Amino acid sequence: MIRPTLPEDTPRLVALTEATRMFRPLELETLREVLDDYHAVNHESRHRCVTLELDDQPIGFCYWAPAAMTDRGWYLYWIVVDPDYQGRGFGRKLLREAEDAIVVEGGRMLLVETSGTEAYAATREFYRRCGYAEAARVPDYYANGDDQIIFSLRFPAPLMEQPYG
Ligand SMILES: CC(C)(COP(=O)(O)OP(=O)(O)OC[C@H]1O[C@@H](n2cnc3c(N)ncnc32)[C@H](O)[C@@H]1OP(=O)(O)O)[C@@H](O)C(=O)NCCC(=O)NCCS
């Protein structure tokens, strides 16, 4: 079941993110702040966060928000599945939830940033398998030898925007 993320989910979501061993302590602290800010104010600015539950236990989450100063662009900021449950289609389910919600809001494009290092090869494959294309690469963005890769997904234009003929 996928439901809106609640403030009481935070400790579990940070713990399962830590369990992936993909994030540094500073990034885990940032996640805690992002979730606190989301519940405090950012949910009012069309930020969205959902929790995936199995047997009443959170096993993953996904966070997305409008991309500032763009025409209906969106950014996926976080998507994490508990390592004990990865590879069973849950990540794809969470991503589709975000995409469906963005389409309902009239979104045009969804971007997601990730690292070009070997440690993130599986994450990049996940986005490719889910239909995302590599749109840009910034060499040495995160650190020397650690490129930023931006994947994108474009949504079909609503019928009223499509040209005649
Ligand atoms: C990335 C992540 C969310 C994917 O979730 P998941 O539940 O494992 O992924 P799914 O089972 O839904 O897989 C969806 C597709 O991606 C592919 N995929 C997933 N993990 C893969 C891997 N390690 N290697 C190759 N392909 C992979 C699957 O094969 C599947 O494709 P298919 O349906 O064509 O077979 C999860 O692995 C994760 O939390 N990783 C650590 C955190 C992270 O990197 N988050 C993204 C940056 S914030």
Task: Give the nearest ligand 1 atom to 127 CA.
Answer: 16
Most ligand 1 atoms within 8 A of CB, residue of 61, 86, 127 to mutate = 86
Residues 6+ apart with CB under 8 A from 49: 4, 5, 35, 38, 43, 61, 62, 63, 64
**149 Cβ closer than 6 Å to some ligand 1 atom:** no
**31 Cβ closer than 6 Å to some ligand 1 atom:** no
- For residue 111, pLDDT beyond 80: yes
**27 Cβ closer than 6 Å to some ligand 1 atom:** no
- For residue 151, pLDDT beyond 80: yes
What is the topology classification, in CATH, of domain 2-161?
A: Aminopeptidase (3.40.630)
pLDDT per position as a tens digit, 72-110: 999 999 999 999 999 999 999 999 999 999 999 999 999
CA distances from 98 to 75, 94, 101, 137 (A): 10, 6, 5, 23
Question: How many angstroms is it from 17 CA to the middle of ligand 1?
Answer: 14
pLDDT per position as a tens digit, 28-74: 999 999 999 999 999 999 999 999 999 999 999 999 999 999 999 99
Q: Which of 98, 85, 88 is nearest to 131 (CA)?
A: 98
- For residue 165, pLDDT beyond 90: no
Cα separation of 9 and 83, whole Å? 17
**117 Cβ closer than 6 Å to some ligand 1 atom:** no
Question: Is 46 in contact with 66 (CB distance < 8 Å)?
Answer: yes
- For residue 161, pLDDT beyond 70: no
